[in-house]
Amino acid sequence: MLHAAPAIEVDRLVKDYKTTRAVDGISLSIAPGSITGLLGGNGAGKTTTITSIMGLLRPTSGTVRVLGSDMNRERHRVLHRMNFQSPYVDLPGRLTVRQNIVTFARLYGVAHAKERAAELADELDLNEFLDRATSKLSAGQKTRVALAKSLVNDPEVLLLDEPTASLDPDTAGWIRDRIAAHARERGATILLASHNMREVERLCDRVIFMRRGKIVDDATPDELLRRYGRADLEDVFIDVARGTERQTETETAL
Amino acid sequence: MSARYSAFSPSRIAAMNARQWYVLRSSWPRILEIIYWPAISMITWGFAQMWVGQESGGTFTVAASTLLGGVILWDVLVRGSLGFSITFLEEMWSKNIGNLMMSPLTPLEYVLSLASMSLIRLFIGLVPVTLMAIWLFGFNIWSLGLPLVAFFLNLIVLGWSASLVVSGVVLRHGLGAEGMAWIAVFVLMPFSAIFYPVSVLPEPAQYVAFALPSSYVFEGMRALLIDGVFRADLMLWAAGLNLAYGAIAVLVYLRVLESARTAGTLLSHND
């Protein structure tokens, strides 16, 4: 039986920061068209993993391939086919929403950048503030604009780091719907790092749990619930995090 | 709608220039800042030139006539450098650098966008000041003709090289290093022989001066203003040194960029 090549392939990835090992030899393979959640407590290595997949971080060892390209050596071959959203970046506040979207459309080589900005404005309900300075927007509006930027090139691979952090439930739910719609309509591969278990349950076909730089579990949400005997992923998350604490206590005692 | 890949894209450079222009035109203090210091500097030195020219005589009066030329050309170097650095810092201030690094914009395209924006800022800042110099002091730097192109190019390229290195340092070490962007080129000032010939400097300092493209430019300017001679040999020396320093600056920038990728500072920056 033929299998489609993985959209994202991580092989024995290690990342050390001076004396700290942030990611410890993880391997994972993400199928095209899937939505995968990358979960773990603070410092588990999620952002380091996502940043390595973007090619913005050089691994200590191991390889990362996105759509067949080695992100350490030939990331520019594939950057126009992927995009990301992260709480660590912002869009220039002095530019209007329209100017920001058009700028990134042009950077990504999108034909008819202005038309694409108008299209995204309709899709993400941005028309009301399309010509307002981005710095003047509310947190929810800014998140919608950041999502527009991350969808501007209709990416085949979308990396999302906490896409709904600090949003009210209504806006967060609306953003999740847009992400799900993009995945469905485009057949896009999405890797999502989040602390919001409802978001993960709502969006993800598969969940990868990380702890202290390693992958400790990898299954569908239903399988994880069965495995841990829990009713929701929030409890599974707590089990995984408490497992870390118990292990740390044991190590300290030793 | 489809996204296309190309290894080098002038349209990506144009997109960056448009983005940088949006920022500049949206803020009148930014535009005022570009003109403010060159204008103040030119007016101050213009009066000094006027006084020295009236009170002295002989060689000193002739030498004094080059003061305004020195001030304006020094501002080409400083403004060229600052235009490059500040355009880069705007991305750091707005936390947009991660978006750019993750886009198909290549390092070369980004550097070319910074250089072209520096030219635009230089044009905005210096043209009004040169016109003021004609109006206030009867000093017309444009009358130097084609040699002025050689002076401008050599000074701007030197400013870009210095700023490229500083931008790399800021990218690697964060905004705590941004102060370097404002002062980097001033270390060249005493050795660039802006207002005096290189021969005035102590011998060890002369070696430093002869290693700087800027000193050849200012010697060339004096040769043109005082003797009416264009010293092509000096411009060739300056161009050769600029090629060497430009290549070193690009290598340093690329090396620091890799170092920033290793340290993980391309996405998150600390002071």
Q: Is the ipTM of this complex over 0.90?
A: no
Say if CB B108 and CB B8 are below 8 A apart.
yes
User: pLDDT, tens digit, for every residue of B236-268?
Assistant: 999 999 999 999 999 999 999 999 999 888 876
Q: Do B267 and A48 touch (CB under 8 A)?
A: no
The residue ranking higher by pLDDT, B83 or A41, is B83
On whether any CB of chain A is under 8 Å from the CB of B15, the answer is yes
Q: Give A162-196 pLDDT, tens digit per residue.
A: 888 877 888 888 889 989 998 988 899 999 998 88
How close, in Å, is residue B245 to chain A by CA atoms? 27
Contacts of A91 in chain B (CB under 8 A): 94, 96, 99
Q: Which residues pair with B10 in a beta bridge?
A: none
CA distance A89 to chain B (A): 5
Please report, as a single letter, which amino acid is at residue B241.
L
Query: In the structure, what pLDDT confidence band is assigned to residue A251 with cuts at 50, 70 and 90?
Result: very low
User: Among A57, A80, A96, whose Cβ lies nearest the Cβ of B264?
Assistant: A57
Fold of A8-89+155-253: Rossmann fold (3.40.50)
Which of chain B's residues have a Cβ under 8 Å away from the Cβ of A111? 1-2, 4
What does the pLDDT average to over B45-56? 82
Minimum-distance CB partner of B105 among A54, A89, A107: A107
pLDDT above 70 as % of chain B: 94
Residue B2: what pLDDT? Answer: 56
Of A17, A56, A93, Cβ closest to residue B94: A93
Question: What is B116-173 written as a DSSP string?
Answer: HHHHHHHHHHHHHHHHHHHHHH---GGGG-THHHHHHHHHHHHHHHHHHHHHHHHHHH
Q: Measured between beta carbons, which residues in chain B are less than 8 angstroms from residue A112? A: 1
Look over chain B and give the mean of its residue pLDDT values, rounded to a whole number: 90
CA atoms of B30 and B33, how far apart (whole Å): 5
B94·A92 Cβ contact <8 A: yes
Whether B22 and chain A come into contact, CB under 8 Å, resolves to: yes
pLDDT higher at A198 or B22: B22
Cα of A212 to nearest chain B Cα, Å: 18
Mutate to test the interface with A, among B103, B254, B261 (most CBs of A within 10 A): B103
B19 touches chain A (CB under 8 A): yes
Residue A194's Cβ-count burial label (10 Å; 0-12, 13-18, 19+) is buried
Rounded CA separation A69/A82 (Å): 12
Cβ pair B143, B185 in contact under 8 A: no
Taking contacts as CB-CB distances below 8 angstroms, the residues of chain A near B97 are 89
For residue B258, give the chain A residue with the closest CA: A58
**CA A196 to CA A75: how far, in whole Å?**
30
Q: What is the pLDDT of residue A247?
A: 43
Mutate to test the interface with A, among B92, B110, B267 (most CBs of A within 10 A): B267
pLDDT at A230 over 70: yes
- Residue in the block written with tokens 């841990």: A228
Interface contact flag, B4 A111, Cβ < 8 Å: yes
Residue A252 has pLDDT above 60, yes or no: no
Task: Classify strands A214-219 and A206-211 as parallel, antiparallel or unpaired.
Answer: antiparallel
